[in-house]
Amino acid sequence: MDYKERQIKQWATKRKNGTDVGWNKGQKGLCSDETIRKMRKSATGIHRKEANGMWQGGITLLGFQIRNSVRYSKWRSDIFSRDNYICQKCGATRCKIEAHHIKMFSLIIRENAIKSLEGAELCEELWNINNGITLCKKCHKEENGIQMKDNKYAIKLAQITPLKYNR
Ligand SMILES: [Zn+2]
């Protein structure tokens, strides 16, 4: 029996015996009404967009628009054809491929202060195919993980040596 099965069995037993109660059940008074009120108030502040350091002024929507633009699909297909539709990290061919930004897409948007789709069209850096590389889905996930793990907004270039025989 593996870990998961054991866990499921334990839960079932607890449910049957009526011992599946939360650790804090019945422990009223852990937080006074006053504390709860204060917690609620401060949480409201945290989630206000201006107070949130992660808020990027609607960049997510803009990012979505750019990624769905005609120009973007051209950028992507230019990279795919240059790389012969082969993952440049592991060499996989018969798999779903994606175009990876060597310098992060969100960073380019930020650095160039791109605020609209029109602004994006004018940004040379965004459409430079040398900033793109073909990766399979698995390698793309790995690369993005590496980039995100570092500082989200630090310049982090992909640590990939493109497979030379494909070029
Ligand atoms: Zn790959």
Measured CA to CA, the distance from residue 104 to residue 39 in angstroms comes to 36
Q: How far is the CA of 141 from the centre of ligand 1 (A)?
A: 9
Q: How far is the CA of 135 from the centre of ligand 1 (A)?
A: 5
State the pLDDT at residue 162. 57
Buried residues in 70-96 as b, exposed as e (16+ CB within 10 A): eebeebbeebbebbeebbbbeebeeee
Q: C-alpha angle with apex 107: 129 to 80, nearest 5 degrees? A: 25
Each residue's pLDDT tens digit, 58-67: 557 899 999 9
φ, ψ of residue 73 in degrees (nearest 5): -70, -25
Band (pLDDT 50/70/90 cuts) for residue 34 is confident
Q: How far is the CA of 149 from the centre of ligand 1 (A)?
A: 19
Q: How far is the CA of 142 from the centre of ligand 1 (A)?
A: 9
Q: For residues 43 and 100, which has the higher predicted lDDT (pLDDT)?
A: 100
- pTM for this prediction: 0.57
Band (pLDDT 50/70/90 cuts) for residue 26 is low
Confirm if 121 and 71 have CB atoms less than 8 A apart: yes
Please, which residues have CB within 8 angstroms of residue 76's CB and are 6 or more apart in sequence? 99, 132
Q: How far is the CA of 99 from the centre of ligand 1 (A)?
A: 11
Q: How far is the CA of 165 from the centre of ligand 1 (A)?
A: 15
Q: How far is the CA of 91 from the centre of ligand 1 (A)?
A: 6
